[in-house]
Every structure is written in C-alpha cells, then in structure tokens.
A and B are shown apart, each in its own frame.
Chain A
Amino acid sequence: MRTYHQLTDPDRSGLADQIGAQRRRVAERLASVGRIVAVMSGKGGVGKSYVTANLARALARAGKPVGVLDADLNGPTIPRLLETPHAARRTSPDGVEPATGLDGVKCISMAMLLEDGAPLDFKGPAAESFVWRGAMEASALRELLGDVAWGELDALLLDLPPGMQRYIELCDILGSPPPVLTVTIPTPESRDAVRRAMRAAVDRGSELLGIVENMVGGELKGSAGDELAQEFGVPVLARIPWHPTPDTWSALGSRL
C-alpha cells in the first residue's frame, strides 16, 4: 500500500497551505510594525504587565506610536493598566480595531472579548479538553497577532504570561524568535526561574535585549538582575523602585 507522500495528487484540504496562509497573514499584518519586543519572565508576579504598560506609555510620550498585545490570555491585565474601556472591539474589513489607552497606547487583549471577570473558556467537549485547549490558545494568539489593524507602529510590546509556553507559540507563529526583554525581581527564587526562561530564549535564538529588575529597594533581598546580566552578558536596563516616576520609565524607554 502506498504511503502519504507517494500519493501525488494534492491534499484537497490543503492543511499545510492553510497553515502557511495563516503565517503569511501574521507577517503581512506585522510588516507595519517597526520592532516587536516580547516582555517575559520565567516567574509569575514580578510585574511584567506593569513594566510593559509603563514602558509603552513612556515610548508613546516620546512620540513613538506603540501598541501592546496582551498575550496573557488567561490573566489579562493590560486594559486595566492602560485604562481602556471594557468594550467589544469594532471590526472593519481591515481587521479588528485596537483600543486606545493612556498616553495613546494602542492595545488588544482577551479581556476585551470576555465578560468582566469571566475566565477564558472555549466551546467544545469538556472531556479531555487538555488535548485541544493549548491549540485553541495558540490560535487565539495567532489571531491577536494577525487580525488587529494596528496601523504604523514604532514598537509592539507583547506581554507574555509566566512560563515558556506562550513564548514558544510566539516563535512558531512569527516564524522567527522575537527579541526579548526580561523582567525579574531581586530574589534568588526569581533569578532561578528567570534563568531558565532566558536560557530557553537563547536556545530558540532570541536576542536578549536586557533585564528590568522590578520592586527594587524594599523588602525583597537579592541581586538577581546583576547576576543574570553577568551570566548572559546583557545589560540591566532599569531598576524599578516601588514608587517609580515617569522619568524612571522614560529612562528605560530611551535605553531599549
């Protein structure tokens, strides 16, 4: 009996072509974006979204059109940080219109598709949902990347959730690993978790832009920022105190 590759007529479903079309759609959409920066950490609760939102605002205040894609599909916080209205987004033939938040930062988030406080859930068979849920989330990320009418942007910041799964999906969807801005807090626990994430990013081929050490100067003890910077040969771009000023963020924006 012949095998798949010995059958020479094309696959009518063209699944590979459909996947290829999806990737082209993302590439075409992001062609108007100057640079993409993935803000990530291997550790939860270090302030990735907080850093992302305030960095975006600083860039916007400097006159650069900037967008934020909230890639934390299960715990989206960017709309609240940028104070965008909770409303469904309008769709035009060009795509879905992003929301506009503080300082004119554009953003899109799963929070805009869900009722306030509702968890992300998908229609489908409940049994063994782990089989398909990850693929659903990756498809959602692909649509957020490919279907939003950003217009011309100087930078698009991607606020990733803790862990590496979304980063890996991002690499697959984009076709190339995005530059990474890493956020940590000073503690050794954070250092250990963030190290794994940075190692994974290096292994995938991402450029490490630098480290933001958040929540500096309070009760959290340690020197994770310096240690990771030395280990990976990247700069500490900012040390964010508990009560940062707009200048704190502007300085980070100018170094990025």
Chain B
Amino acid sequence: MKFLCVECDQQMAFGERQLPGDGTLAATFKCPKCGRVVAMLTNPMETQLVSSLGVEIGGRTVPAEPFEMMNTMVVTGGPAWSSDAQERLSRVPNFVRGMVKKIYADYAKERGIAEITPAVMDTARSELGLEGM
C-alpha cells in the first residue's frame, strides 16, 4: 500500500498508526515535499480483513508471537476483554501471558463478570494475591 501526493508527484511517507479500539484503524501519511498529511481510515470490516492476514499496517517492529492471531482473535467462550485490559495483558511476558489470561478469565467467570477491565484485573490481583501479575 502506497500513497501518492498527486500535486507534488511524490510518494507519501508513513507517519503513524492508531487503533481507537472500536474496530477501526487510522494510518497517516505525509508528503515529504509539501508536508501535507492525509489519514487512511478503515472501517471494521476492512480492518478485520487486514488483521486476518496476520500483517500490520505500518510494518512490524517485533516478530509475531506464537499463535498471535488465534490468541487475540479466536473467541474462546470466556469473558470479553476491554481494549484497555487487552493492552495491559499484552505487556505481560509472552511465556506466561496465557496462564495469566486464564487466571483472570477464571476469576471473571466464577463471579459472573462479563467484561474484564483494568479495574477487574486490579481487584482480582488483590483478592487472589497476585500482585505483580
């Protein structure tokens, strides 16, 4: 995917990528000659199509983790994770992330909590004595 500043006849440079958390994606591109910035905005279906290929707009900075797509996109039947909670979970080291995720999911399931949020994670850590996870 490339963007062309038609007026300057210059290929625009990728700027940044944003994931607002509502299934959409925003990526900015800047013309190196005139400085014009444009944003590419994709709807949830378009974003999903890109995600389904296991690629990232703007390029990858780190290699994909094992089962990265499946761990994030397959519905496992457990509680939903808010985008903030997902972001926080993503900071857990990969080799224990699955275990940590299961602890929180089991905690929520036992209490009938439909969505795991950072507040739920804080409460679970406190109740289960998992400070530091």
Contacts and interface: CB of A to CB of B under 8 A. Distances in A.
Interface of A: 1-2, 4, 7-9, 11-15, 18-19, 21-22, 25, 88-93, 95-96, 110, 113-115, 118, 120-125, 127-128, 131-133, 135-136, 138-140, 142-143, 147-148
A143 B67 contact: yes
Contact of B23 (A4, A115, A125): A125
Contacts of A91: 65-67, 94-95, 97-98
Contacts of B49: 131-132, 135
B47 to A, nearest CB: 9
Interface string B47-85: 011011111111110011111111011111110000000
Given A1-B4, A135-B53, A147 B76 contact: no
Given A12-B13, A122-B75, A113 B70 contact: yes
Contact of A12 (B6, B14, B65, B94): B14
Contacts of B63: 21
Given A2-B9, A127-B45, A139 B75 contact: no
29 contacts: A1-B4, A1-B6, A7-B2, A9-B2, A13-B57, A13-B58, A18-B55, A89-B98, A90-B99, A91-B66, A93-B95, A96-B66, A113-B70, A113-B76, A114-B74, A115-B76, A120-B74, A121-B75, A123-B75, A124-B45, A125-B23, A125-B44, A135-B52, A139-B52, A143-B54, A143-B66, A143-B69, A147-B66, A147-B67
B14 A13 contact: yes
B73 A136 contact: yes
Nearest to B53: A135
Given A9-B11, A115-B76, A132 B2 contact: no
Question: Which 3 pairs from chain A and chain B are nearest by CB?
Answer: A115-B77, A12-B14, A135-B52
B117 to A, nearest CB: 17
A92 B102 CA distance: 16
A88 B2 CA distance: 40
Contacts of A11: 1-2
A90 B76 contact: no
Contact of A125 (B2, B4, B45, B66): B45
A19 B102 CA distance: 30
B69 A115 contact: no
Classify chain B: how many residues form its interface, as a range: 35 or more
Contact of B4 (A7, A13, A128, A140): A7
Contacts of B53: 15, 19, 135, 139
B50 to A, nearest CB: 9
Given A14-B60, A131-B48, 13 more contacts: A7-B4, A13-B1, A13-B56, A15-B53, A96-B67, A118-B75, A120-B74, A122-B52, A123-B75, A124-B44, A131-B45, A132-B49, A147-B67
Contacts of A96: 66-67
A143 B71 CA distance: 10
A37 to B, nearest CB: 23
A131 B14 CA distance: 27
Contacts of B2: 4, 7, 9, 11
Contacts of B54: 18, 22, 139, 142-143
Given A7-B2, A143-B68, A12 B58 contact: yes
A148 B66 CA distance: 8
B70 A125 contact: no
B55 A15 contact: yes
Nearest to B94: A91
